[in-house]
Structure 1
Amino acid sequence: MRLTELHRTTGYRLATLFLVLFGVIALLLFGYLYREITGFEQERIDDWLLREHAELKREAPDELVARFEHQNQFDPRRQRPFGLFEASGKHLAGGYAGGQPAIPVFDQPFSMRLANLPGQPPGRCIAAHVPDNRIALQCQNTLELDHFDDELLHALLSTAMITLVIGLIGATLIGISAMRRFDAVTASIEEIVAGNLSRRLPVHAKRDDIDRLVVVVNGMLDEIERLMNEVKGVCDAIAHDLRTPLTRVLGGLERAQRRARTEAEYRAAIDETIVETSGLLRTFNALLRISEIESGVRRAGFTSVDLAAVADDVFEFYEPTAEDKQIGFRLQRTVSGPLEIRGDPNLLFEALANLVENAIKFAPDGGVVHITLWHDTRGTGVTVKDDGPGIARAERDAVLRRFYRGEASRRTPGSGLGLSLVAAVAGMHGMTLEFHDADVGCEISLFKPAQSQLADSR
């Protein structure tokens, strides 16, 4: 970004906006202060003039000349020139020399130029009719006050200009800082777009609003990188895991083409092909099922679901399978009554069924599989426990990836998608899938945290 584009940055615009707002407020404040200060000085002078005027009214007529001359002796600089004039305008006494000036109003303060004084300074005066058709004029030289007003106005304007310059400099620095940050962010984004998904947007130590946004974007990039790696892993896993059954299908068909002679032999070859193809179809259906769940399209149809009823259905469905394998199969409840959560009953059944199916599959002959329903401070959930080979701690994250097969399950039938589907259902429902450390076998809990339940109820 070039400096000529500085005015387009949000930081510069916000800084100049606040500068304008501050300028308007400062202008109003300065105007108010100027008016109040100058008004106070004028009110003080007017108050003094009115008091002098009142005393003059009480003065004896024959003492007015002496009063004006006495005042003149104590005012050599003519800061308060008084003048007593005849009706014709002739000067009788006082420091206001010369003829009587034009008087606009009597018995009220007024402003005028003190024309008979050097420099004709501005003044504030009051005039009165006194006995013997004489006119008394009392004034206050306001040259210093006007000078103070000019200096005050100059100081206020100078302060405003300095503030404006400093504000513009500050806005420019803020804009340049924002430009540099956005340039760094833009460069990182361009590098990410070019294919470097490990690149992240820079975060500053001050943790402002931009940094909060950058942290969220970096989290999104982490998730995108994880999904891309997962997609790559899934593609590699599909190519690896489906290559064997496809090879078997092709090999069986080629053998049937070369060797089969009777109808029974052809039927046997076709049956083997159907079995292999059905397994492939189940794998692809599971992949599509996981994608549908992860898309969240069924979240709109969530209703109140009794997790205990779902567990009862799963227990009833897999009880014959456990009996055939001579496995002890038990359903326990730590609390009575329904265990209500928000969700899709079919998906919750499918998730719990996968956990139970895995437990039965890996439990040894004569082993035991426990399904436990519980509700406590953590939330509401179900725990499935078996006494099979278990899942190593190092593999607990990996088994949730698609097509991953742990060391203990490589020789057992399956596609490696069961726990991936359970994780997808858990994520869709805001549930937690948690592995527990067990002395023997595997113990997995699927539960709705208490805080999530409270938010759903609202």
Structure 2
Amino acid sequence: MFSVHLSDIPRTISFRTGLMFLALFGCSFLALFGYLYWQTAVYLKAEADTALHRQVDNRSLQAPELRAQEIRKHARQDVEGRLPHSLYSADGELIAGAIDVLPAFKELDTPDQFIWNKPDGNHRPIRFMVHRLENGQLLLVAQDMHDIHEFDELLVRAMISGGVTLLLVGLIGSVLLGHFARRRLDTLSRSIEAIVEGDLNRRLPIRGNHDDIDRIAIVVNTMLDELQRLMSEVKGVCDDIAHDLRTPLTRLIAGLERAQRRSDSEQDYPAVIDAAMVEAKGLLLTFRALLRISEIEASARRGDFAVIDLNAIAADAVEFFEPLAEERNIILSFAPAATPAMLSGDAQLLFDAACNLLDNAIKFSPDGSRVHVEVLTTSGSIGLRISDNGPGIAEGEREAVLRRLYRSEASRHTPGNGLGLSMVSAVARLHDMRLSIHDALPGCRVDLLGQARLPG
């Protein structure tokens, strides 16, 4: 369904980013080369001028007769005219040297340039300087600049060829980046389309290099895990509502039908109404619990977070359930943390969660058994652990019991609506804590653990 076309590549962010860096690198390349070219040209010109001044000084120190002889000898030796010297009269007539005509110049003792038409027909760029001697004669010293000009041209050609190479490599690199980015986005798009079409187990592929796309894919996969969990809970809730709420509704309707069908006396109606009210209140409590769980999962109470001590909350919960434990001859022990167990959270919600866990532990423990409550503060973690000696929870049901209204067959005939652990799980997610169920050998151990932290 997806294929990478050249027309699609320019629209990718990677291609445009590659072009942007190509432009930035190209500008940096031009600036660096321009600086090097300018520095090289200035250096070579300064070296040539320095050489001209040195030659003028050397010729100026010579005697007039010797100077003329040396210039004629130099002209015979310098066949190629690399360093031509000439001597002219005060009127500009040639006395000795290779350059017949005194070139036009701006000022004495100031380097200048001209094109020398040599007798062999070659045209050479010459940098020269004219100096007036003590006898009035004019001394010209010069240097052929052809090699320096060729070096300048070589630098310019290198800049052009390097710039073209940089442009080609940059464009090819940008196209490849756009191509690979497009292929990866196509893979993500296929995964998303499969998810949209109903494959909720599908996840976005992750390379493991932790780049930007990987980070987005991880966040999206986490979101999909949460959505799948919520959809599974919704389906489970619908199934459990149909299964568990059907019984009290059936009893309610059956009681009312019996009262109507048997035409009981008015003295019997209060008992029928009381029974119906008990069933209706039970249903109302169930729906209230469902609404509270929804409120917790929507983080509606996160604004009530404050710094609390989990030791105090656990102690209050243990004190609240001590009468019930004593009534059933259950030993309820409590081990607070040695240090303050401070965390950021909602005290009422955490108290309700602790009460639900204690209620389950006492409810499913046999008379004369033991329930132990412990506050944990280890390795940066803080939490609550509740252990009992009851029948425990089968490993295959430890995830299912966290669903709303789910009740195992072993607990289906005990009082309750199957929402206690669902509420605890919602509170745990709200506080970024982890709820886990383990074997206590014998019995069940429930851990509610999170990171110790303060708000802000």
Q: Which TM-score bucket, shorter chain as reference?
A: over 0.9
Structure 2 residue 423 is matched with structure 1 residue 421: yes
Counterpart residue identity of residue 370, structure 2: V
Amino acid at match of 1:197: L
Asked if 1 retains the 8 angstrom alpha-carbon contact of 2:361 and 2:371, the reply is yes
The one of 88, 92, 95 equivalent to 1:89 is 92
Change (3 A) 1:289 1:53: same
Residues 256 and 266 in structure 1, CA contact (< 8 A), matched pair in contact too:
yes
Structure 1 residues 282 and 335, CA, compared in 2 at 3 Å: closer, same or farther? same
Query: Which secondary structure does the structure 2 equivalent of 1:253 belong to?
Result: helix
Give the Cα separation in 2 of the matches to 1:368 and 1:205: 47
Query: Given the alignment of the two structures, is residue 433 of structure 1 paired with residue 420 of structure 2, yes or no?
Result: no
- For residues 382 and 170 of structure 1, the distance between their equivalents in structure 2, rounded to whole angstroms, comes to 56
The 1:377–1:159 alpha-carbon spacing in structure 2 relative to 1, beyond 3 Å, is closer
CA distance in 2, matches of 1:308, 1:248: 43
Q: Distance in 1 between matches of 2:339 and 2:157?
A: 83
Which residue identity lines up with residue 26 of structure 2 in the other structure? G
Q: Is the 8 A contact 1:327 1:367 kept in 2?
A: yes
Distance 1:316 1:264 in 2: 43
Q: CA deviation at 1:374?
A: 4.6
Note if 1:143 corresponds to 2:149: no
Q: How does 1:101-120 map to 2 (within 5 A)?
A: 101-117=103-119, 118-120=121-123
Distance 1:372 1:173, change over 3 A: closer
Answer yes or no: is the 8 Å Cα contact 1:305–1:340 preserved in 2: yes
The 10-residue stretch of structure 1 (284-293 or 391-400) with the greater mean CA deviation from structure 2: 391-400
Q: Letter of the 2:41 partner, please give it.
A: T
The one-letter amino acid paired with 1:84 is L
Distance of 1:355 and 1:317 partners within structure 2: 13
3-state DSSP of counterpart to 1:264: coil
**Cα gap change, 1:87/1:391 in structure 2, threshold over 3 Å: closer, same or farther?**
same
Relative distance call for 1:442 and 1:141 in structure 2 (3 A) is same
Unaligned runs of 5+ in 2: none
Structure 2 Cα separation of the partners of residues 55 and 337 of structure 1 = 94
The TM-score with structure 2 as length reference comes to 0.92
Aligned to 1:35: 38
Opposite residue 150 of structure 1, the aligned amino acid is E
Aligned to 2:265: 262
Structure 2 residue 18 is the aligned partner of structure 1 residue 20: no
Q: Which residue of structure 2 aligns with residue 60 of structure 1?
A: 63
Q: Which residue of 2 aligns with 1:405?
A: 407
- Shift in Å, 1:290: 0.8
Match of 1:271 in 2: 274
**Are residues 1:304 and 2:302 paired?**
no
The answer to whether the Cα contact below 8 Å between 2:307 and 2:455 also exists between their aligned partners in 1 is: no
State how far apart, in whole Å, the 1-side matches of 2:118 and 2:110 are. 21
Q: CA deviation at 1:16?
A: 0.5
Which of 155, 160, 163 lines up with 1:160 in the alignment? 163
Query: Which among 219, 232, 236 is matched to residue 233 of structure 1?
Result: 236
Q: Is the 8 A contact 1:61 1:131 kept in 2?
A: no
Deviation at 1:387, TM superposition (A): 1.8
Match of 1:456 in 2: 454
Tell me by how many angstroms 1:420 deviates.
1.0
For residues 446 and 209 of structure 2, the distance between their equivalents in structure 1, rounded to whole angstroms, comes to: 42
- Give 2:219's aligned residue: 216
**326, 331, 334: which is aligned to 1:332?**
334
SS of 1:121's equivalent?
A: strand
Structure 1 unaligned residues grouped into runs of 5+: none
Letter in 2 for 1:58: L
Is the 8 Å Cα contact of residues 337 and 374 (structure 2) preserved in structure 1?
A: no
Secondary structure at the counterpart of residue 268 of structure 2 = helix
The number of equivalent residue pairs is 452
SS in 2 for 1:32: helix
Q: C-alpha displacement at 1:212, in angstroms?
A: 2.2
Give deviations 1:359-416, integer Å, cap 9, x for gaps: 2211212323333345444644333222221122332222112222224312212211
CA RMSD of aligned residues (A): 2.1
2:161 and 2:371 map into 1 onto residues whose CA distance is 86
CA distance in 2, matches of 1:204, 1:369: 47
Relative to structure 1, is the Cα distance of residues 74 and 376 closer, same or farther in structure 2, using a 3 angstrom cutoff? same
Tell me, yes or no, if structure 1 residue 74 matches structure 2 residue 72: no
Which AA in structure 2 matches 1:402?
A: R
TM-score, length of structure 1 as denominator length: 0.92
Q: Distance in 1 between matches of 2:225 and 2:231?
A: 10
Q: Against the structure 1 CA distance between its residues 108 and 227, is the aligned structure 2 distance closer, same or farther, given a 3 Å change threshold? A: same
